[in-house]
Amino acid sequence: MDLADTTEQAAFRAQVRDFIAEHGAKAKAEETEGEALLSREVRAKTKGWRDALVASGWIAPAWPVEYGGAGLTATEQFILNEELAESGLSNVGGFGVMMFGPTLMIHGTDDQKREHLGKILRGEVVWCQGWSEPSAGSDLASLQTRAIREGDEYVLNGQKIWTSGAQHSDWMYMLARTDPDAPKHRGISLLMFPMDSSGVSVRPLINLANNHGFNEVFFEDVRVPVANRVGEENRGWYVGMTLTDYERSGIGNAVGTQRRLRGLLRTALDAPPEQTVLGRAGSGWRLAFTDRWIEAEIARLFSYLNITIRARNMVPNHEASMSKLFTSELNQRIAATTLRLYGLYGSMWDSRRSEAQSGKAAGGYLGAVSSTIAGGTSEVQRNIIATRGLGLPRG
């Protein structure tokens, strides 16, 4: 693993920094909570930032140039994500850019590519993912949402749950069972359709931190054209697994963690002495903060490892699970450390209070609970590490 930039990489890093200096202010049009980032109001206010990224091909930097991307190497995309994260910025791609667009390039028809890829890049359409169901989470292949073919249409019935951003989305891509008699990993197809289709209903799910980030979505006799199937009928599981190859390197999460810790330290130093345990003997907060900082550096090294593997034209497998496991559990430890910093003030849960007054500490702690569930539970990641990384037998 080589942590140093080559001459070319250093030049590209300088180019990215110049771009951020010129256009970065457009990305900070409004401070919002994470679940609101896809709302039409925020998308409109950050249009200038998106347009600048689109013009450079950086909204989807690893996409081929013919599809509107920049054709960057894995290392260049890593540098771009790293610099954006260092500046507290996002390339506002979402599921469409991050996962569905690249999958469509591989498995989609020419008509599907022409219809959807340009709109994804321009931010005209926001996508959500219909994966989990009440009885199919980690064991996703057990999904029961049915799509019965009738001529040139599928008739869709069932339910999806934990659907992030469905309340803001224009289209959904989802997995449905098209052959109920086939083994569970077969007989599944990947379909896409507008969220305003007749028979689609979205109901909010409010998390422990009182935020509306995800939803349950119901389908009642929703008619989906066969032309909106991606890939072969009954082979959707394998199309869906292509999506997992296009998750980002993780550098944004690792760098974002360090920015979060720096902000926490500034807040602690600026807060009134009576509102933190910072100066109290025996509090142990300094040691806890030091541990979190070291762990954030380890998370960053995991990202470097994964991008080095990709740069060698290989796919991170158990290495990506190691990174995800460590980073998600670190997120929970940081939330707990933040709560400890404020002592009894940390339990004063009021999002209207400034962080210096500890108002967000309790909400952040509760919000971190889902870190080790979303994107694959810690148990699933440990199984992958054990079997694929260590070669241990399945239990």
Catalytic residue, from 35, 86, 247, 329: name it: 247
Residue 113 backbone dihedrals phi, psi, to 5 degrees: -65, -45
Q: How far is CA 287 from the centre of its chain?
A: 31
CB-CB neighbours of 299 under 10 Å: 23
Number of C-alpha atoms within 13 angstroms, CB side, residue 222?
27
Q: How far is CA 303 from the centre of its chain?
A: 15
Residue with tokens 């997120």: 331
Q: Is 154 helix (H, G, I), strand (E, B) or coil?
A: strand
Query: Of 129, 123, 128, which is closest to residue 48 (Cα–Cα)?
Result: 123
Amino acid at 85: A
Q: Which residues pair with 193 in a beta bridge?
A: 172
Amino acid at 54: V
- Residue 292 CA to residue 261 CA, distance in Å, equals 8
**Annotation marks residue 247 as catalytic:** yes
Contact assessment for residue 367 and residue 332, using Cβ atoms and an 8 Å cutoff: no
User: Would the CA dihedral through 14, 19, 21, 25 be positive or negative?
Assistant: negative
Query: Of 231, 257, 269, which is closest to residue 331 (Cα–Cα)?
Result: 257
Q: Give, in degrees to the nearest 5, the angle at Cα 168 between 200 and 374.
A: 90
- Residue 59 CA to residue 62 CA, distance in Å, equals 9
> What contacts 270, CB < 8 A, 6 or more positions away?
356
User: What are the DSSP E strand ranges found in 76-152?
Assistant: 127-130, 146-150
User: What are the DSSP E strand ranges found in the chain?
Assistant: 127-130, 146-150, 153-161, 171-177, 188-194, 200-205, 214-225, 229-230
Catalytic annotation, residues: 247
